[in-house]
Amino acid sequence: MPQETASSEQPSAAFAPLETIFAPPVALVTGVAGFIGSHLAERLLSENFHVVGLDCFTNFYARGLKENNLRACRAHPRFTFVEGDLRKVDLRALVTQHNIRYIFHQAGQAGVRPSWGSDFLPYVEHNILATQVLLETLVNLPDRAQIKKFVFAGSSSVYGDAEKFPTSEDALPRPLSPYGVTKLAAEHLCFLYAKQFDLPVVALRYFSVYGPRQRPDMWFNLFIDALLRGKTIRVFGDGEQTRELTFVSDIVNANLLALRAPDDTPRLYNIGGGARSSVNGILELLGTIANTSPHLEYHPRAAGDHRHGAADITRAQRELGYTPRVELREGLRQQFEWQASMLNQP
């Protein structure tokens, strides 16, 4: 059975810096049409930020789903959307003209399993090269001090099969997939630019994010979709592999808390949800939520899948005041209800 250790209570603190008393700050969110980016942009708008959202709508999944993610943001007067590839848009003009102070770099090519073989190139382009172009732009601004924080969306996939659980940020990264390799490379680039040019970088390593708007290729989405349609669920491995599960609103909260991180050195934090469960335990819980018994079909473990994952979030708790708030059962219920409502749309 899943372990549920976090409270569902939501924080109410405002995160906008003191300068917002006179003028709301401007934040750039890359990958704004994605799962996490769209939730983050909405939260920033609610916290009195101006938000410039950038997305190139890669063909990894349907553009219509991403457009739906952006619906609330597009209706907001403090939101500006720019469609374009980070490697091709005039980032210097974008940052200077909008007087951007905070960067939340959520953009990237996602997915562990598709990163093998001939599909590797987009991972290099969107995870490594795009990050380097963005960093190079920022450190060559007329006023480099314009950027108050650069928050990078990292991944727990860099740990691979860690030797110790829960895993701390000091553990040696040993990714098991090409995706994990590119995320680690991008993270290292952020730290290099931070140390060489005093860029105030904070990297957050996300652990298994779920919730409404989750990408259609992710396993929670696939499990729930199969339950809703009465189809067989394919499980890769024996189902006893475990993951640290983090609800999307907790990830968003961590991004805003990252603005409080000290500026003296690059900072790295694990962001987990306080709930670790096996795949079989998750399926049992989803069956209870759906009031049905899942039909399961087990297959060999997929390449790049690590056996266990668990986050030591002590550093984020101590330095950022981060605490996961959404319990696993509640988070799964919210995602299930969202997917059910999407399935019923014409």
DSSP 8-state symbol, 264: S
**Are 150 and 100 a contacting pair, CB within 8 Å?**
no
pLDDT higher at 6 or 56: 56
Percentage of the chain modeled with pLDDT above 70: 93
What is the C-alpha separation between 37 and 54, in angstroms, rounded?
10
- Alpha helices (runs of H) in the chain, residue ranges in sequence order: 35-46, 63-69, 71-74, 91-97, 121-123, 130-139, 178-197, 219-229, 248-257, 279-290, 314-320, 328-343
Per the residue annotation, which of 102, 123, 159, 179 is the catalytic one? 179
**Are 203 and 152 a contacting pair, CB within 8 Å?**
yes
Mean local confidence (pLDDT), 154-182: 94
pLDDT of residue 302: 79
The tokens for 141 are: 């601004």
What is the C-alpha separation between 156 and 152, in angstroms, rounded?
13
Split at pLDDT 50, 70, 90, the class of 12 is very low
Split at pLDDT 50, 70, 90, the class of 163 is confident
**Are 44 and 12 a contacting pair, CB within 8 Å?**
no
Residue 149 has pLDDT above 70, yes or no: yes
What is the C-alpha separation between 209 and 246, in angstroms, rounded?
5
14: in domain: no
179 as an active site residue: the answer is yes
Tokens 């680690």, residue located = 184
205: in domain: yes
DSSP 8-state symbol, 9: P
Q: Considering only CA atoms, give the Rg of the chain.
A: 19
Residue in 4, 85, 2, 1 with CA at minimum distance from that of residue 273: 4
The residues that bridge with 155 in the sheet, in sequence order, are 206
pLDDT tens string 241-251: 999 999 999 99
Task: Provide the residue type at 221 as one letter.
Answer: N
pLDDT of residue 113: 83
Mean local confidence (pLDDT), 249-276: 94
| CATH code assigned at 284 | 3.40.50.720
Pairing of strands 79-83, 50-55: parallel
pLDDT tens string 31-61: 999 999 999 999 999 999 999 999 999 988 8
Mean local confidence (pLDDT), 231-245: 93
259: in domain: yes
| Tally of domains in the chain | 1
Mean local confidence (pLDDT), 320-327: 97
Task: Give the range among 14-28, 72-86, 316-330 with minimum mean pLDDT.
Answer: 14-28
Split at pLDDT 50, 70, 90, the class of 329 is very high
Residue 10 has pLDDT above 70, yes or no: no
256: in domain: yes
Residue in 246, 260, 45, 267 with CA at minimum distance from that of residue 169: 267
Split at pLDDT 50, 70, 90, the class of 344 is confident
pLDDT tens string 277-308: 999 999 999 999 999 999 999 999 877 777 88
97: in domain: yes
126: in domain: yes
pLDDT of residue 22: 54
Parent domain of 28? 22-343
Percentage of the chain modeled with pLDDT above 90: 82
Torsion angle of the four alpha carbons 127, 262, 192, 176, in this order, in degrees rounded to the nearest 10: -50
What is the C-alpha separation between 326 and 275, in angstroms, rounded?
9
Distances (CA, A) of 202 to 15, 72, 270, 295: 16, 27, 11, 42
151: in domain: yes
Task: Give the range among 15-29, 36-50, 76-90, 142-156 with minimum mean pLDDT.
Answer: 15-29
What is the C-alpha separation between 61 and 102, in angstroms, rounded?
28
Average pLDDT, the chain: 92
The pTM of the whole model exceeds 0.85: yes
Residue 18 has pLDDT above 70, yes or no: no
6: in domain: no
φ/ψ region of 304 (left if φ > 0, alpha if ψ in -120 to 50, else beta) reads left
Split at pLDDT 50, 70, 90, the class of 346 is low
